[in-house]
Amino acid sequence: MNPGIDLQQRFIETLMGYGLSPGAAKAVWLPLPLLLMLIGATVGVLVAVWLERKISAAAQQRIGPEFIGPLGILAPVADGIKLVFKEDIVPAEADPWLFLLGPVIVVIPVFLSYLIVPFGQNLMITDLGLGIFLWIALSSIVPIGLLMAGYASNNKYALIGGLRAAAQSISYEIPLALAVLAVVMMSNSLSTVDIVNQQSGYGILGWNVWRQPAGLLLFWISALAECERMPFDLPEAEEEIVAGYQTEYSGMKFALFYLGSYVNLVLSALLVSVLYLGGWDFPIPIGLLANWIHISPDNAVLQIVTGGLGIVMTLLKAYVFVFIAILLRWTVPRVRIDQLLDLGWKFLLPIGLVNLLMTAGLKLAFPFAFGG
């Protein structure tokens, strides 16, 4: 049974047990998954922003945020409060409707992509059979919002940034999709839960990273370009085009771009964890651990503990890649726009095609090892 449907049914039955009608119980349930998704993604962003500040400070041999809460952990919250209360300015010559819709179209698809991310065993909003396809489709919408924001601002720097963002996204979406399709081919499923389950059973030896090393590298480079992280932050290169498509934005509209960037980074890191590092799976199989400590794998306490640790494992693997992305910002120089496009079309695209064809061939030749 779909874990999301099972949880929904139990929640509704519990409310009905307190006297609510079936319709009222369903109405109470409807906003909860989306609210939980929004809260979880926002908390993940706050942690990523705090890590960005602290790691950047360490790379530059300074302290970073220190006094806004313990170790400066409330600095991201202070940033959010500041942006909420800042004046929202719309340029006189801008297109007001497109100017408003740009950041909205950028943020909503990224948040919706969290629907398919399994944070642990039976812990996700919904287990869609076409989850990976949905994510690829949603990620294709984001460049429209970026181009719309650059065009609507009626600013030459914003327009250049929007055009760069659209060209960059199109260039790297195809290699990204090819890398993911190789994993889908091995798993025989577009469901993220099936992809994680296909890697479980053998601990770290069963993770896709060993069967898809080129795919992992291809996915992460393409994801950094999709998230516009260094060295691929050409759409908002401050030294060249002020802030790109964000130049004319302020207040909450600017905050949406800022939020969308970090939400997308955390999402990409979570997908690396799910697609290549076994998601909630432990490096050592649970059955083997249970035998070592002489506990039955069906023990209720063990299942609760492993469930909680599974969430920790998923997030730990994801934030390792967030750390790598932040570190790259201070160790790798920005590339030129022509170098960026050449890398996507002339190198990553052929590598993605070869990787997909090799995966298909190895799947036929060694079906046990490659998910046949």
Domain ranges of the chain: 45-82, 86-370
Residues 274-315 have pLDDT tens digits of 999 888 888 777 666 656 665 655 655 656 677 778 888 888
Give percent of the chain with pLDDT exceeding 90.
Answer: 13
**CA-to-CA dists, residue 210 to 118, 205, 255, 336, 337, angstroms:** 21, 7, 39, 32, 32
Give 120's strand partners: 123
Report d(CA 90, CA 94) in Å as an integer.
7
Backbone angles phi, psi at 243, to 5 degrees: -135, 20
Report d(CA 145, CA 181) in Å as an integer.
26
Residues 358-368 have pLDDT tens digits of 988 888 887 77
Q: Is the pLDDT of residue 67 over 70?
A: yes
The counts of H helices and E strands in the chain are 16, 0
CB atoms within 10 A of CB 348: 23
pTM value?
0.86
Residue 6's pLDDT band, with cuts at 50, 70 and 90, is: low
Long-range contacts of 210-214 (CB under 8 A, 24+ apart): 211/186, 211/369, 211/370, 212/179, 212/182, 212/183, 212/186, 212/276, 212/355, 212/359, 214/351, 214/355
Lowest mean per-residue pLDDT among 25-34, 133-142, 253-262, 308-317: 25-34
Specify the pLDDT at position 356: 92
Residues 251-271 have pLDDT tens digits of 888 888 888 888 899 999 999
Tokens standing for 331?
Answer: 């160790």
Q: Under a CB-based contact definition with an 8 Å cutoff, are residues 180 and 261 in contact? A: no
Specify the pLDDT at position 2: 47
Q: Is the pLDDT of residue 5 over 60?
A: no
Rg (CA), the chain: 22
Mean pLDDT computed over every residue of the chain: 82
